[in-house]
Amino acid sequence: MPREPQSLKQILGATLPGSLAQRLPSAQLLAAWRVAAGEGLARRALPVSLEKGGVLVVAVSGAAWKQELSLMGPELCQKLAQAGHPVQRLKLVSAPSLTPPPPPPAPLPELDAGERDQVETAVARVRNPELREALASLGRACRRASKASGK
Per-residue pLDDT of the chain (151 residues; tens, 9 = 90+): 567 776 655 655 555 545 444 556 677 888 888 999 888 888 888 888 888 888 999 998 888 888 988 899 999 999 998 988 889 999 999 887 666 667 788 888 999 999 999 999 999 999 999 999 999 999 999 999 999 888 6
Whole-prediction pTM: 0.52
Res 71: pLDDT: 92
CA-CA distance, 27 to 47, in Å (whole number)? 11
Q: What is the chain's length?
A: 151
Per-domain residue ranges of the chain: 20-95, 113-149
Q: What amino acid is encoded at 134 in this protein?
A: A
> Left (φ > 0), alpha (ψ -120 to 50) or beta: where does 127 sit?
alpha
CA distance 79 to 68: 16
**Are 140 and 111 spatial neighbours (Cβ–Cβ below 8 Å)?**
yes
Query: CA-to-CA distance for 53 and 130, rounded, in angstroms?
Result: 68
CATH of 20-95 among 3.40.640.10, 3.30.300.180, 3.50.50.60, 3.40.50.720: 3.30.300.180
